[in-house]
Amino acid sequence: MGSHADFVIEAFTLLSIGILIIFLRTYARLRQVGIRNFEADDWLMLLVIVPYTIETALAYTVGAQFRGLTNSGMTDEERKTLSPDSDEYAWRVGGSKIQVAGWIMYASVLWLVKAALCAFYFRLTAGLAGYKTRIYIGFAFIAATYIAIICCILFSCQPFSHFWQIYPNPGNFCQPALSKIYIFVIVCLNITTDIYLLAIPIPMLWGARIPKVKKYGLLVLFSGAIFVMVAGLLRCFLILQNPDTGPEEGASWAVRESFVAVVTSNLPSTWGWMRQKLKPLFGSLLSSNNVSSKYKGAEPGSIMLGDGRGSGWRSRSGRADNGLGTVNSEHNVYIHGGGDASSDEIIPSLPEGIKKDVEFTVQESEPQR
């Protein structure tokens, strides 16, 4: 690992970028629906900023104030001879307390992101048969696993003061920087919840009747949890590999993993808006019309996902958006439009018959004189 100064620059740079991305997402949603029409995922993602900032500050404190020390990485002889009046003793006690708080903030960031994603999927699949139950189960799964993790962190070592006990050796479960119960419980629950969340949009996108290039792009866009899982496994490996540098190494990788989670979870809801803004620079590369003629026209299931344009359909809030649309049949709508309206509730239908009912509003405006 590099010097502490290098980590400080990295940590606060990642924090700044992460918060900027959340604000960018919020700005896009403000332009699309207005603050009165914000939904659960919008507020949850803003709430992520609080534990994310605290987590980064704690990771900084581990190295800056407590020299990366905790009550782990010591022999029994070192524990016995370390004076309670020494600076090192104070650093190890303080560093251990920071580690307990850091684990709680780390879990809070990841699980708030999961809850925001689940709420986003709820909005995304509104009206599609079979998805509502899956998402409710997802919310329950996220809540139950978060409670389990917090209980694991707080009650795995009793009495609680043993979390920062130096002598005698309190045992692995009372060494928060290297606690195997922390590491394995959080990693396992993190991976299982991410896999469940991936199972919501991926099958739907895989079966959608859209061009393969766009389909694969959307699959990658919605598969950001894979990168979070890899980062979590890497963090687990690095902590267990070296007990001496584990505390500071773990804090560093917690910040990196949280950053990856924030970025990848915000991409699906901001991509359509960003594509519209970047189109003047990249032209046809980002054009939604640059597809094979096989997919042009009012093809059933060819409704585009997250285009960021207005679509002439009425959202659940009852607000009508101006745009152009073509009704193909009684239930299928192929939509192209203009403006800044949100389109992230429009879902491509599966060829086997999953359909989304859309209330389509045609409005006529007075000609300008």
| CATH code (residue 198) | 1.20.1070
Neighbours of 122 (CB within 10 A): 20
Neighbours of 58 (CB within 10 A): 23
Do residues 344 and 269 lie in contact, with contact meaning Cβ atoms separated by under 8 Å? Answer: yes
First to last CA, the chain: 68
Best CA proximity match to 123, nearest among 273, 316, 308, 310: 316
Q: How far apart are CA 117 and CA 329, in angstroms?
A: 32
Structurally, the chain folds into a number of domains equal to 1
Residue 293 domain flag? no
Angle at 22 between CA 19 and CA 25, to 5 degrees: 150
Q: Write the DSSP assignment of 127-173 as a string of letters.
A: T-TTHHHHHHHHHHHHHHHHHHHHHHHHHSSSSGGGGG--SS---GG
Q: How far apart are CA 194 and CA 232, in angstroms?
A: 11
Helix (H, G, I), strand (E, B) or coil at 333: strand
Report the sign of the C-alpha dihedral through residues 285, 290, 294, 297, in that order.
Answer: positive
Angle at 265 between CA 264 and CA 269, to 5 degrees: 110
Helix (H, G, I), strand (E, B) or coil at 257: helix
Residue 73 domain flag? yes
pLDDT at position 294, please?
Answer: 43
Long-range contacts, stretch 132-140, CB < 8 angstroms, 24+ apart? 134/199, 134/200, 135/200, 138/196, 138/197, 138/200, 139/115
pLDDT at position 280, please?
Answer: 73
pLDDT at position 284, please?
Answer: 54
Q: Write the DSSP assignment of 1-54 as a string of letters.
A: ---HHHHHHHHHHHHHHHHHHHHHHHHHHHHHH-GGG--HHHHHHHHTHHHHHH
Residue 228 domain flag? yes
> What is the residue range of 210's domain?
4-277
Do residues 99 and 123 lie in contact, with contact meaning Cβ atoms separated by under 8 Å? Answer: no
Q: Is 168 exposed, middle or buried (0-12, 13-18, 19+ CB in 10 A)?
A: exposed
pLDDT at position 288, please?
Answer: 47
Residue 122 domain flag? yes
Q: Which residues pair with 360 in a beta bridge?
A: 313
Q: How far is CA 163 from CA 150, 169, 177, 185, in A?
A: 15, 10, 10, 18
Q: What is the pLDDT of residues 134-166, one digit of tens each?
A: 999 999 999 999 999 999 999 999 999 999 999
Expressed in percent and rounded to 5, the helix, strand and coil fractions of the chain are: 60, 5, 35
pLDDT at position 68, please?
Answer: 87
Residue 117 domain flag? yes
Spatial CB neighbours of 186, under 8 Å, sequence gap ≥ 6: 103, 106, 107, 149, 152, 232
Interhelix angle 180-198/87-124, nearest 10 degrees: 10
pLDDT at position 368, please?
Answer: 52
* Amino acid making up residue 175: Q
Residue 301 domain flag? no
Q: Considering the entire predicted model, what is its pTM?
A: 0.78
Specify the residue for token string 């696993």: 145
pLDDT along the chain (369 residues), means of 10: 79 97 94 92 97 96 91 94 97 96 96 96 84 94 98 96 96 94 94 94 80 79 85 86 75 90 88 72 54 39 36 35 32 33 41 44 49
pLDDT at position 214, please?
Answer: 76
Do residues 135 and 122 lie in contact, with contact meaning Cβ atoms separated by under 8 Å? Answer: yes
pLDDT at position 242, please?
Answer: 78
Tell me which DSSP letter residue 301 carries.
Answer: T
Please give the structure tokens belonging to residue 289.
Answer: 């019309």
Residue 314, φ and ψ in degrees, nearest 5: -100, 125
Residue 269 domain flag? yes
Do residues 178 and 99 lie in contact, with contact meaning Cβ atoms separated by under 8 Å? Answer: no
Residue 236 domain flag? yes
